[in-house]
A = this chain, B = another copy of it.
Amino acid sequence: MKRLFLQEVVARDGFQNEKPFIDTEDKIALINDLSHCGYAKIEVTSFTSPKAIPALRDAEAVMAGIQRQPGVEYTALVPNVRGAERALGCCLDEANLVMSVSDPHNRANLRMTREQSFAQLKEVIGVIGQASIAVNVSLSTAFGCPMQGDVRLDEVLAWIERFAEQGVRGISLCDTTGMAYPTQVQALAQQVRDRFPSLQLTLHFHNTRGMALANTVAALQAGVDRFDASLGGLGGCPYAPGASGNVCMEDLVHMLDLMGHHTGIDLDRVLAASARLPGLVGHDTPSQLLKAGRRLDLHPFPQQAHALARQVSDTPLERAQ
């Protein structure tokens, strides 16, 4: 089984939706913990306007405060040239740009047509590229748009091609509202890998309709080796209150480890960090692993069955516990 690359998005994609402001020091402490978990990449923050996303208004302070670990890339969302200029002072390893491949979602989310977004991101790529910082482009609604419905596969490929021509290092296919399903994921991922073999391809799943881990299995079969996920599954979906959002990192890593893949992740450390999230955000998270424990976190034999069991068993109970 090959090496997989896990990318932690909780500090950006997760925290951006949280209502109470999370203290800068708490963000820094969490990211410092995450830096020891074995991630390939950590999305630290977003250089969007503090008015648009007040939860991440401390982008510069967080970038300046974290202790970086060798082998971990630190990325941040950069929406426009203004954001790029702010980011340049922060020693990013990568800038993560974003637009939607569906027209209505791009207009609703970014207040621009897709062509306007592309023109703006081209400028950002120019600014970022001059500083020799890698560029990733996250394509939202790559598996479906909550306003438009299906998004044509050839349209997704066309947008990837336009960004590849701009020399970006990577593309993330984002299942923004959990519309991806396994056969679709396998088909799209296979085509992207065949047509753009040198692009760093990330799949970014949401678990809105419960399919994120099934989609991961399908992506693995198409040879994908890089996945975003969010500690504790933090990160909501504005179109489905109460539903799950980003796929939960610990649930994903747990499955990948069991399947024999080499994730490089220290799951104990991830779980310990996840257990601190409710204290930071003021509510429970959708983490399944935090509630159920790992597969081989065993349980004692129930006491009430002990007496009878001792009579009927021909093997010492202790061996089974």
Contact = CB atoms under 8 A, between A and B. Distances in A.
Nearest to A150: B296
27 contacts: A102-B320, A103-B313, A107-B308, A107-B309, A107-B312, A108-B302, A108-B305, A113-B313, A116-B312, A144-B295, A147-B298, A147-B321, A148-B320, A148-B321, A179-B295, A181-B259, A182-B259, A207-B288, A208-B288, A209-B294, A210-B255, A214-B216, A237-B292, A239-B292, A239-B299, A240-B293, A242-B291
A211 B295 CA distance: 11
A267 interface: no
A321 B239 CA distance: 14
Interface residues of A, number: 68
Interface string A200-243: 00000001111101101110000000000000000001011111
A113 B320 CA distance: 13
Given A179-B295, A182-B255, A214-B216, 11 more contacts: A103-B315, A108-B305, A113-B312, A148-B298, A208-B292, A209-B254, A210-B255, A210-B289, A213-B214, A240-B293, A243-B292
Nearest to A220: B182
Given A103-B315, A103-B320, A288-B243, A147 B210 contact: no
Contacts of A149: 296, 298
A111 B212 CA distance: 38
Interface in A257-306: 258-260, 288-289, 291-296, 298-302, 305
> Which 3 residue pairs of A and B lie closest in terms of their CB atoms, listed nearest first?
A240-B292, A104-B320, A181-B258
A209 to B, nearest CB: 5
A258 B183 contact: yes
Contacts of A313: 103, 107, 113
A103 B300 CA distance: 13
Contacts of A317: 104
A291 B240 contact: yes
A247 to B, nearest CB: 9
A292 B245 CA distance: 10
Interface of A: 102-104, 107-108, 111-113, 116, 144, 146-150, 178-179, 181-184, 207-211, 213-214, 216-218, 237, 239-244, 248, 251, 254-255, 258-260, 288-289, 291-296, 298-302, 305, 308-309, 312-315, 317, 320-321
A260 B183 contact: yes
B181 A244 contact: no
Contacts of A178: 292
Main secondary structure of the interface of A (DSSP, over half): loop
Contacts of A244: 288
A240 B312 CA distance: 27
Contacts of A301: 104, 107-108, 147
A151 to B, nearest CB: 11
A1 B166 CA distance: 40
A6 to B, nearest CB: 16
Contacts of A112: 312
